[in-house]
Chains A and B, each alone.
Chain A
């Protein structure tokens, strides 16, 4: 047994709207520990470094293999998933904060429903069922399939939005994740039937024109989605749509 410890500095908040505060924790060192396993340790023994017993730290997690996005938080100043943040690779004390661009529910839990609302606004789906049989879908070229596969890996974690200088708690910017979904579904032969509705939805306040091309989104995306390509492509699609609206409608 080793008595090596892992030091944590955790930003806590008891309820939405209440002020946040920092607490220090120490957990026994285990090789290959990730942030989630350390948080579980704190949950079992919620005592601060100073020896005061406090309410356990709350957090969200689910898949533990970086595909669900629910454990996204700010670790040592950078947004990422807690499950794949290995303690051995982090500088101590490890600072854990909830994402700053979403309303805090409690401690490290945030409410990301804004992302889901945006997906609804842009109709990030393909209509297949009607009251009648609409037949088989059109064939998709394999090159499009390959492009769409990468884009479809988005897990709505919110990293791209947390790191975006244009996205904030009090504006309506949709952000990279949403624009990527517009491109994903517009590229689908059946999805393209609702192309114009999706483009119209991103051609207003908070839409594609509010992107500042800081391109941090693509740097922090854990799934390596070519978000800036998606943004530029939606820029092209909306530009044509605008000219079309101007001349045709």
Chain B
């Protein structure tokens, strides 16, 4: 095998950063918000979904391989990208320039939010050793508590907004970087479509937060039988 040159590595790393933002990280966000929104239908479908996920074979390997490693890679490369650029949005006040800065800001905010979010949910779950059917009542209990304070709601609202903004604007960036949207009109129309997608995802996330806030229903562990 030929050892790749420094330039090739640079190209591959940045392309992978762009790609991991869509799959698996972005895809995970869409699935995560969609499954969570089951909570707005009722607590049972939500528990059913958590039960299904927590009974997946090789769950920890799936989580590490498809979520944690790509997410960590995307985040570290993201901080490198933030470090390379220097915003001038106050000097050159154009919409895209504002979005450029927002993309970096929301990326950093989402990263901080994820440290908090994972700490209170999946981190606590692993720490307490709540697996399979024990996970759902444990997690639902934590979430019921988190959404009862305005601080909790604020943190999640900022986190959800940052993540959905970063994802939808990032899909646009992906489409431009990979040359899927080339012309001016194509880029503008793409931006409208992805903005609509972002608004939809934000709505899903905030509706779930609201449901948890209004109906904090505790559940019992499902009994396998």
Determine the chain A residues whose CB is within 8 A of the CB of B181 once the complex forms.
232
Q: How far is the CA of A236 from the CA of B5 in the complex (A)?
A: 22
Which of A219, A229, A234, A236 contacts B184, CB < 8 Å? A229
Which chain A residues (188-232) contact chain B, with CB distance < 8 Å?
A: 203-205, 207, 209-216, 219-220, 226, 228-229, 231-232
Q: How far is the CA of A210 from the CA of B14 in the complex (A)?
A: 8
Asked whether A232 lies within 8 Å of B88 as measured between CB atoms, the reply is no
CB of A225 to closest CB in B, whole Å: 12
Q: A168-186, CB under 8 A of B: which get 1 and which 0?
A: 1001000000000000000
Of B25-33, B90-98, B147-155, B192-200, the segment with at least 4 beta carbons within 8 Å of chain A is: B90-98
Determine the chain A residues whose CB is within 8 A of the CB of B18 once the complex forms.
209
Asked whether B85 lies within 8 Å of A166 as measured between CB atoms, the reply is yes
Q: Which residue in chain B gives the minimum CB-CB distance to A220? A: B92
Which chain A residues (227-249) contact chain B, with CB distance < 8 Å?
A: 228-229, 231-239, 242
Determine which residue in A165, A226, A228, A233 has the highest number of CB atoms from chain B within 10 A of its CB, and name it. Answer: A165
Determine the chain A residues whose CB is within 8 A of the CB of B182 once the complex forms.
229, 232-233, 236
Asked whether B91 lies within 8 Å of A214 as measured between CB atoms, the reply is no
Which chain B residues (10-62) contact chain A, with CB distance < 8 Å?
A: 10-11, 14-15, 18
Asked whether A163 lies within 8 Å of B6 as measured between CB atoms, the reply is no
Asked whether A213 lies within 8 Å of B96 as measured between CB atoms, the reply is yes
Q: How far is the CA of A219 from the CA of B92 in the complex (A)?
A: 9
Asked whether A203 lies within 8 Å of B11 as measured between CB atoms, the reply is yes
Asked whether A212 lies within 8 Å of B92 as measured between CB atoms, the reply is no
Q: How far is the CA of A220 from the CA of B81 in the complex (A)?
A: 23
CB of A196 to closest CB in B, whole Å: 14
Which of B11, B88, B99 contacts A209, CB < 8 Å? B11
Q: How far is the CA of A216 from the CA of B93 in the complex (A)?
A: 9
Check if B86 is an interface residue, CB within 8 A of chain A.
yes
Asked whether A232 lies within 8 Å of B7 as measured between CB atoms, the reply is no
Determine the chain B residues whose CB is within 8 A of the CB of A78 once the complex forms.
91-92
Asked whether B96 lies within 8 Å of A204 as measured between CB atoms, the reply is no
CB of B5 to closest CB in A, whole Å: 8
Which chain B residues (150-196) contact chain A, with CB distance < 8 Å?
A: 173, 176-184, 187
Check if A141 is an interface residue, CB within 8 A of chain B.
no
Known: A219-B94, A232-B181. A204 touches B176 (CB 8 A): no
11 residue pairs A–B, Cβ–Cβ below 8 Å = A78-B91, A203-B11, A204-B8, A204-B10, A209-B10, A216-B94, A219-B92, A235-B178, A236-B179, A238-B179, A242-B11
B residues contacting A by CB (< 8 A) are 5-8, 10-11, 14-15, 18, 81, 84-89, 91-92, 94, 96-97, 99-101, 173, 176-184, 187
The 3 nearest A-B residue pairs measured at CB: A236-B179, A204-B7, A214-B100
Given A209-B14, A212-B85, A239-B15: 15 more A-B contacts, CB < 8 Å: A78-B91, A165-B85, A165-B97, A165-B101, A204-B6, A209-B18, A213-B96, A213-B173, A214-B96, A229-B182, A229-B183, A232-B176, A234-B179, A239-B179, A242-B15
